[in-house]
Amino acid sequence: MGIDQYHEPPEELSAQTRTFARMCASLSEEAEAIGWYVQRISVEPDVQARAIMENSMGEEFKHFSMELEFLLRRTPQWREIAKGILFTDGDIVEHGESAEAAAD
């Protein structure tokens, strides 16, 4: 992705903002990799190959989760909204609306 990840001139962005953008790009890349593994695993007939891919996908889950936590720790409003949605039962959209309203 390189410098294309920025929508503003990189030299005008703070180091903190550039790090945040890098982590967002990494999060997106991990999500994409998870999607690829899901597809590959669903069509792979070889049991051993599928087991290796499933193990690799677990690494992507770990990386995605660490990157998400990094971003949430640095963005209080995002973290507050996420708390109202993640790891809850019931209607996801309703939780999202409630969490967003509570964070305003």
Per-residue pLDDT of the chain (104 residues; tens, 9 = 90+): 455 778 899 999 999 999 999 999 999 999 999 999 999 999 999 999 999 999 999 999 999 999 999 999 999 999 999 999 999 999 999 999 999 999 98
Question: What pLDDT score was predicted for residue 5?
Answer: 78
Q: What is the DSSP string of 1-64?
A: -GGGG-SS-GGGS-HHHHHHHHHHHHHHHHHHHHHHHHHHHHH---HHHHHHHHHHHHHHHHHH
Question: What pLDDT score was predicted for residue 31?
Answer: 98
Question: What pLDDT score was predicted for residue 1?
Answer: 44
Q: Residue 63: how many CB atoms within 10 A of its CB?
A: 16
Token pair of 41 as six digits: 């695993």
Spatial CA neighbour of 77 closest among 55, 56, 53, 101: 101
Residues 6+ away with beta carbon under 8 Å from 32: none
Q: What is the longest distance spanned by two Cα atoms in the chain? A: 51
